[in-house]
């Protein structure tokens, strides 16, 4: 039963990648200036999503660290959160 969430995530990922491919295929049919503008917008939105995902991931790692069964795992989770936050701060500046 533990494989059900993994399977579900795999299906969601495949649908998402297919939709992204469809989006880029549609952009290929635009004129060159419109195509460039569309690609720039896609890039900007993906970057926004990445920043939000990184922030959520870092927060989740911090939450999980409080539930860690030992100090070593807790420190690893806190280190991952810190790396995500540092990476995000470097990308913003």
What is the pLDDT of the chain when averaged over all its residues?
A: 80
For the record, the structure tokens of 5 come out as 């969430």
For 68: left if phi > 0, alpha if psi spans -120 to 50, otherwise beta; the answer is: beta
Instruction: Note the pLDDT tens digit of each residue in 4-61.
Output: 677 777 787 788 888 888 888 888 888 998 888 888 888 887 777 776 777 788 888 8
How far apart (Å, rounded) are the C-alpha atoms in residues 41 and 59?
Answer: 27
How far apart (Å, rounded) are the C-alpha atoms in residues 41 and 38?
Answer: 5
- Residue boundaries of the structural domains of the chain: 3-28+36-92
| Stronger pLDDT, 92 or 48, i.e. the higher one | 48
pLDDT score recorded for residue 92: 59
pLDDT score recorded for residue 39: 85
Q: CB within 8 A of 55, min separation 6: which ones?
A: 84, 85, 88
């Amino acid at each position: 039963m533990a494989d059900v969430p993994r399977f579900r995530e795999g299906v969601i990922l495949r649908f998402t990648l297919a939709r992204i491919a469809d989006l880029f295929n549609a952009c290929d049919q635009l004129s060159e200036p419109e195509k460039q503008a569309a690609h720039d917008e896609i890039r900007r939105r993906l970057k926004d999503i990445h920043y939000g995902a990184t922030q959520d991931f870092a927060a989740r790692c911090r939450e999980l660290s409080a539930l860690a069964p030992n100090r070593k795992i807790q420190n690893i989770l806190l280190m991952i959160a810190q790396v995500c936050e540092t990476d995000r701060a470097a990308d913003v500046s």
